[in-house]
């Protein structure tokens, strides 16, 4: 491959890196991530170029460029080749990435916390991807005989081989019925948490505030590397890494502001969302609303942090959402407004 193609590929990789980093703070869109994955897998050299760009950013992240953009990289991209992944609007940002490459030799190592898109990138190219839109659900039977029920607004990547069964739930909720195979642990990663099972049934739900694991059968081991929330007012101190074992009839809630909460439940309720019953125990209203929105497809918005931090315990029936919304101001000091098809929940004044 000639230098021109190498430069174009690297510029495209820089552009993808910048787009993903910019939007990750706003919860990177599913469409953008899937487009990026398709580009990475389009040609082996694309993945290598992206890895090179990522490594350079790790070296130079946050360091202003101290050298000019290399001449070959700055001048060899014809205008009619912009469709290769680099738009004119982003040219200055791509140039900055290239300038950082020139400065990488004198830059300090900076920690790059792996966001959702990077975890996806690290999955093997052979990974199967299953996804649902908000308000939809589907059941997937995996090659090992396990079954996964995906709730609305969810995405799951799976890699099963002769030695391991690795799954990544990077958003949403899923109920796993695991085929027993002691030689191949069944490991589900969600955010900073890993759930390991051999033969069991359990549910994993993600949200902006943390994760919830509910065990219906058997035993699962939970390994949580979740960082504490630096903006939390919580005074409770707990380890950076938490490892615990949950058994059938237990629900474990993990978030960034408090220690794990273990609650006894009826094992049958672990999959109750499949019947349209969404059960919550002392969960932030923001997590409750996020889950309801995925299951129903309704646009629900928490308008302020105070409302989102309210703790809710109860059952929401997906088919009776309007009744729940009307009753919410009777439970909490909040107001519920319908604004052009979007339901807004805010603290009452």
pLDDT per residue over 75-110, tens digit each? 333 333 333 444 444 545 555 555 444 443 333 222
The percent of residues in the chain predicted with pLDDT above 70, rounded, is: 70
For residues 62 and 90, give the distance between their C-alpha atoms in angstroms, rounded to a whole number: 18
- Every domain of the chain with CATH number 3.55.50.30 lies at 276-347
Burial label for 275, CB within 10 Å (0-12, 13-18, 19+), is: exposed
pLDDT band at 71 (very low <50, low <70, confident <90, very high): very low
Phi, psi of 65, rounded to the nearest 5 degrees? -60, 140
Q: Look at 97 and 1; give whichever has higher pLDDT.
A: 97
- According to DSSP, residue 198 is labeled S
d(CA 297, CA 168): 23
- Cα–Cα distance, 207 to 286 (Å, whole number): 8
For 248-287, the pLDDT digits (tens) are 999 999 877 778 889 999 999 999 999 999 999 999 999 9
How many Å apart are CA 261 and CA 210, to the nearest integer? 12
Other Cβ atoms less than 10 A from the Cβ of 298: the count is 18
> Any idea which architecture 123-273 has in CATH?
Sandwich (2.60)
Q: Is 29 or 324 the better-scoring residue by pLDDT?
A: 324
Q: Where are the alpha helices (DSSP H) in 184-336?
A: 285-296, 305-308, 321-331
In the chain, CATH 2.60.120.1440 covers 123-273
Judge contact between 186 and 165, C-beta under 8 A: yes
- For residues 200 and 14, what is the distance between their CA atoms, to the nearest angstrom? 43
**For residues 87 and 96, what is the distance between their CA atoms, to the nearest angstrom?**
14
Per residue in 158-197, pLDDT tens?
988 888 898 989 889 999 999 999 888 899 988 878 899 8
| Residue tagged 């899923």 (tokens) | 174
Residue range 321-349: mean pLDDT, rounded: 92
Above 70 in pLDDT, residue 69? no
> Is pLDDT at 36 greater than 70 in this prediction?
yes
Could you give the CA distance from residue 250 to residue 338 in angstroms, rounded to a whole number?
Answer: 37
DSSP state of 216: E
The answer to whether 169 and 190 are in contact (CB under 8 A) is yes
- Give the 3-state secondary structure of residue 247: strand
In this prediction, residue 64 carries a pLDDT of 36
Digit-coded pLDDT (tens) for 188-206: 988 878 899 877 999 999 9
Instruction: Residue 89: count other Cβ atoms within 10 Å of its Cβ.
Output: 8
N-terminal to C-terminal alpha carbon distance within the chain: 64
Of 16, 217, 190, the residue nearest 119 (C-alpha)? 190
Question: What percentage of the chain has pLDDT greater than the value 90?
Answer: 42
Q: Cβ(273)–Cβ(294) under 8 Å?
A: no
Least confident of 9-13, 53-57, 181-185, 302-306: 53-57
Helices marked H in the chain — which ranges? 3-24, 30-42, 44-60, 71-75, 91-103, 116-122, 285-296, 305-308, 321-331
The more confident residue out of 135 and 47 is 135
Q: What is the mean pLDDT of residues 205-211?
A: 85
Considering the chain, what is the average pLDDT of its residues?
A: 76
- List pLDDT tens digits, range 103-152: 433 332 222 334 454 555 555 556 788 999 999 999 999 999 999 999 99
- Is the alpha carbon torsion for 14, 16, 19, 25 positive or negative? negative
154 pLDDT tier (thresholds 50, 70, 90): very high
Among 3.40.50.620, 3.30.450.60, 3.55.50.30, 3.40.462.10, name the CATH number for the domain at 276-347.
3.55.50.30
């Amino acid at each position: 491959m000639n230098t021109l193609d190498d430069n174009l590929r690297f510029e495209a990789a820089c552009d993808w890196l910048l787009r993903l980093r910019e939007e990750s703070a706003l919860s990177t869109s599913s469409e953008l991530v899937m487009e990026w994955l398709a580009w990475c897998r389009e040609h082996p050299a694309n993945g290598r170029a992206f890895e090179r760009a990522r490594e350079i950013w790790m070296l130079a992240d946050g360091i202003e460029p101290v050298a000019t953009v290399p001449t070959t990289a700055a001048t060899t991209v014809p205008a009619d080749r912009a469709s290769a992944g680099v738009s004119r609007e982003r040219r200055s940002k791509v140039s900055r990435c290239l300038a950082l490459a020139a400065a990488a030799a004198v830059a300090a190592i900076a920690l790059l916390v792996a966001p959702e898109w990077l975890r996806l990138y690290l999955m093997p190219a052979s990974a199967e991807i299953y996804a649902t839109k908000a308000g939809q659900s589907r059941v997937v039977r995996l090659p090992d005989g396990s079954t996964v029920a995906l709730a609305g607004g969810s995405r799951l990547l799976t890699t099963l081989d002769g030695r391991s069964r690795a799954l990544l739930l990077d958003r949403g909720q899923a109920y796993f019925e695991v085929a027993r195979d002691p030689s191949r642990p069944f490991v589900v990663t969600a955010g900073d948490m890993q759930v390991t099972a051999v033969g069991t049934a359990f549910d994993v739900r993600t949200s902006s505030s943390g994760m919830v694991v509910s065990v219906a059968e058997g035993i699962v081991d939970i390994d949580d590397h979740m960082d504490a929330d630096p903006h939390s007012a919580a005074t409770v101190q707990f380890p950076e890494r938490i490892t615990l074992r949950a058994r059938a009839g237990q629900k474990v809630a993990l978030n960034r502001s408090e220690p794990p909460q273990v609650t006894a439940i009826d094992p049958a309720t672990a999959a109750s969302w499949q019947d349209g019953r969404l059960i919550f125990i002392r969960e932030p209203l923001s997590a409750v609303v996020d889950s309801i929105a995925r299951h129903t497809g309704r646009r629900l918005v928490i308008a302020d942090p105070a409302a989102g931090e309210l703790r809710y315990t109860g059952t929401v029936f997906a088919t009776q959402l309007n009744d729940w919304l009307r009753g919410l101001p009777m439970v909490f000091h909040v107001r519920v407004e319908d604004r052009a098809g979007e339901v807004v929940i805010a603290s009452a004044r």
